[in-house]
Structure 1
Amino acid sequence: MTIPSAYADPAEPALPKAPFALDAARAALVLTDPQIDFLSPQGAAWGAFGASATQHGTVPNLRRLMEAAKSAEIPVVISPHYYYPHDHAHGFAGPAERLMHHLGMFERRHPLSVEGFEGSGADWLPELRDLIEDGRTVVCSPHKVAGPQTNDTIFQLRKLGVDQVVLAGMAANFCVDSHLRDFVEHGFEVAVVRDATAGAQLPEGDGYAAALFNFRWFAHALWTTDEATAIMAGDAAARAA
Structure 2
Amino acid sequence: MERVAVLVMEMQRGVVGDLTKFPELVDACARHDVVPNAARLLHAARHAKIPVIHCTAAFRPDRAGSHTDNCPFIVSLLKDPAHMLEGSPAIEVLPELLGADDLESRRHHGFSPFTGTSLDMTLRSLGVSTVVALGVSLNLGIPGLALEAVNLGYRVTVVKDAVAGIPEDYARAVLKHTISLLAGRATVTELVGAWT
Normalised to the residue count of structure 2, the TM-score between the two structures is 0.88
Give the fraction of aligned pairs with identical amino acids, expressed as a percent: 24
Say which SS state the counterpart of residue 195 (structure 1) adopts. strand
Q: Distance in 1 between matches of 2:192 and 2:72?
A: 36
Q: Which of 162, 178, 181 is 2:128 aligned to?
A: 162
- Residues matched between the structures, number: 192
| Residue 164 of structure 1, CA deviation | 0.6
Task: Tell me the equivalent position of 1:28.
Answer: 5
Q: Which of 214, 219, 226 is 2:178 aligned to?
A: 214
Task: Tell me the equivalent position of 2:191.
Answer: 228
Q: Which of 5, 14, 20 is 1:37 aligned to?
A: 14
Contact 2:68–2:74 (Cα < 8 Å) also in 1: no
1:159-180 Cα deviation digits (max 9, x unpaired) = 1010111111111221111010
Q: Which of 43, 63, 82 is 1:67 aligned to?
A: 43
Q: What's the RMSD between the two structures over aligned residues?
A: 2.1
Question: Superposition pairs for residues 148-187 of structure 1, below 5 Å?
Answer: 148-187=114-153
1:118-141 Cα deviation digits (max 9, x unpaired) = xx2211212223x1xx0x211113
Q: Which of 106, 127, 130 is 1:141 aligned to?
A: 106
Normalised to the residue count of structure 1, the TM-score between the two structures is 0.73
Mean alpha-carbon deviation: is it higher for 89-98 or for 54-63? 89-98
Say which SS state the counterpart of residue 107 (structure 2) adopts. coil
Larger radius of gyration: 1
| Residue 43 of structure 1, CA deviation | 1.2
Structure 2 alignment gaps of length 5 or more: none
Say which SS state the counterpart of residue 227 (structure 1) adopts. helix
